[in-house]
Structure 1
Amino acid sequence: MTEEEERRFSPTQFFSRTFTDSESLAASIPGGKVDVVPTGYRDFRGTVRLVNLGKGVSLQSAGATAPVTLRTELIGGDTPATTFFFVPNPDPKAAVDGIHLAADMVFSRSCGDISSLRTAGPFELRAVCILNSALRRASAALTGREKMAALETPATLKRAGVAQLANLHSHYALITQAVDAAGWEMIARRKALTEFASDAISAALVRLLDTGDLRTDHLAHRLQTASMRRIDRLIDEDSDHLIGLQELCERAGLSLRTIESIIRRRMDMTAHSYLKRRRLTRARKALLSPGEGVTVTSVAMDHGFTHLGRFSIFYRQMYGESPSETLRNVTGRQEG
């Protein structure tokens, strides 16, 4: 297994942490490269939990007290795995890849996929990450069928059976509550118990997938997802380069109208606002890890913000502090 796979599937690993900034939250979410950007500052508090049960099954959750945009690229190695996401208390305005979440929805994503979650308030996102071989083995034992449509392509499971989804939530909650009550060290020492829990989650997932209304993403949505992935990678690939809308259109091979439509559907903002927010995220990272002689002015200019007053206003709206406060907290020096 790769290092990332070991992090997600080793039966001896567990963590549950709380953070007061979005950067630390993003860095701690397992399974891929993650960006967490507050969409409007409130008192931020984020949580991450990982429980590896062994036998190729891992329980994960992430949550925050403030509305955010969470963008993740799932990373894997040589062992194919699929992550199934669901929410215990859905936000009626929350959306994943432009599809509004509902209480009866489970969506799956595989290694290499880039997805975005947009919330309008406090949220908790739960996930079961499972090796494809483990899910096929459970399916063969429970249904007599090893092949599963849910593993063929990223899919959205709508109108999942109420009893089956409740069963998955129940097993998830029982396991995490047991860890909280007894402590992970006591749980991990009992291999029979972790294997029993792993089998229970696998069985609950198979029953849900076997009885729900499984719908693969339609072609237009898959093409839009691929285009959004291309847009994000063009923005990400050169951190020292400020890409504008014209260059983005040229290099992505898409018209401005198409890019505007995709970003508005996925991120609920204009393309211009999305580029500005991505530049602001980079600017914050630069302020949090400043080199010698770095100033707020140099960081603003390096990231395309030529009006320092507007940069400071926009920055405070997102992070609840001025850029000079961020730099001062890191370096301990006052800007003149």
Structure 2
Amino acid sequence: MLPDPMTPRPLARFSLFESSDLDEARERVARVFCPHRLDMIGRGSFDACHNHVSGERLSLNYIQYGAKTLIAPGELKDFYLLQIPLSGGAAISNGPDHYYSCPDKAAVLNPHLPTTMIWDEGCRQILVKVEREALQDHLSQLLGSGASKPLTFSGPLDLTSDVGAALYGLIMHLVTEADNGQVMLSSGGLLARQLESVILSGILEAGQHNYSRYLRPTRSAAAPRHVRKAEEFVRSNLDNPISLDDIANAAGVTARSLQLGFRNFRNTSPMALLRSERLRRVHEELMAGAPGASVTEVATRWGFSHLGRFSQIYKAKYGQSPSKTLQNGASIGFSD
């Protein structure tokens, strides 16, 4: 669904430009970010807008293009970019990572990996540009030592998790306050710097990256052996018809004990884990977009026989229909 044209644009008081000219939009956006390729690939009306608020180590931005667009900046080099869709979504290719970003799944673009994106028609996004050195230094402070390898994010950032929702809430609060005339990041004072630090910490805690295991404890270490054995059995038998009793037998406990263990240490159930892992496999195959692949064949092969119910749970988890994922997967392998 396309956004209502009467809906106020975030950060409207801080407009950099509005234009229906593709070349002008490309040049003006590049002034804040970096040179990039920008092409219309859809039939919609091109209606570009960029609003911008600067801080010391990061900036808040609102961007829309109206039409479906291909954006290819290559390597961002000097900054990480958190992209939060307010409506619509974007197919993301960042190095070896390929995924779809939507209102509950933000994207974090790594500066040292080549990026190509397709923004859907009607896609509207809040973008947080973070200086690469600032985020790397903040990571080192949290680790208590220097980070020897480049900070590298993988996959989308889940805005429905506790920390993801908190990060989203803080960013949108700052946007709202700026719209109301209170530009908290531009004050240059201690509060502004602390707010920036909270955002940097939120990105590091909510995102998945090569230092995640050092920043937050995992529950897996404390889980009892039968829970870990059950998880191993489930992940090794995703393509087999297995039941709760099968999982419990493999773990060496009763079904009731297994359910209690999962509830206490994983906040889920064994069968929910099975469904989630199978759903992930379906998602991976649909995103791969293999020639001749069909949603029905892939879903059935991974144990989803009720296609109507499957479509509902898939859309609830990934923010789009399985057929849309397959379509995006088939189109994301573009080069020129």
Which TM-score applies when normalising by structure 2?
Answer: 0.49
TM-score (norm. length: structure 1): 0.49
